[in-house]
Amino acid sequence: MHLCKDCDSGELQCTKCIIGGHSRRPLHRIQRWNGNYFEDTSLANAGLTIDLGHNPVTCVAGHGKIQSHLITVMDINGLHNVRLCWCQCLRFSHLAEELFRRQWIPATLIRPGTAFTFRVMKHFQRLSHIARTTPWDFCNVIQRLTDNIQPDQLPDIYRSFNRVQRLWRISRAYKRAGVTMCHSIGTLPCLGLQCVSCPWPGRNIPDNWKDDPDV
Comparison of 59 and 145: residue with beta carbon closer to Zn ion:
59
Q: Give the span between the Cα atoms of 65 and 77, in whole angstroms.
A: 33
CA 43 to mean position of chain CA atoms? 18
Residue 142 · residue 151 · CB < 8 Å: no
Least separation, in Å, of the C-beta of 186 and Zn ion? 45
Scanning 24-32, 119-127, 141-149, 156-164 for contacts with Zn ion by CB under 5 A, the matching segment is 24-32
Q: Which residue in the set 71, 82, 87, 120 belongs to the binding site for Zn ion (CB under 5 A)? A: 87
d(CA 76, CA 117): 8
Per-residue CA distances from 154 to 27, 143, 180, 185 (Å): 16, 7, 38, 41
152 burial via Cβ count (<10 Å: 0-12, 13-18, 19+): exposed
Residue whose CB is less far from Zn ion, 18 or 121? 18
Classify residue 154 by its DSSP letter.
S
Q: Judged by CB, which is closer to Zn ion: 24, or 132?
A: 24
**What number of CA atoms fall less than 13 Å from residue 131's CA on the CB side?**
10
Instruction: Please identify, using beta-carbon distances, which residue of 146 and 165 lies nearer to Zn ion.
Output: 146
- Binds Zn ion by CB under 5 A, chosen from 11, 17, 101, 200: 17
With binding defined as CB under 5 A, does residue 7 bind Zn ion?
yes
**Cα distance between residue 201 and residue 203, in whole Å:** 6
Instruction: Give the residue with the Cβ less far from Zn ion, 4 or 95.
Output: 4
Judged by CB under 5 A, the residue of 2, 26, 27, 28 near Zn ion is: 28
| Residue 120 CB, nearest approach to Zn ion (Å) | 17
Our finding on whether 14 is near Zn ion (CB under 5 A) is yes
Residues that bind Zn ion (CB under 5 A): 4, 6-7, 14, 17, 28, 59, 61, 87, 89
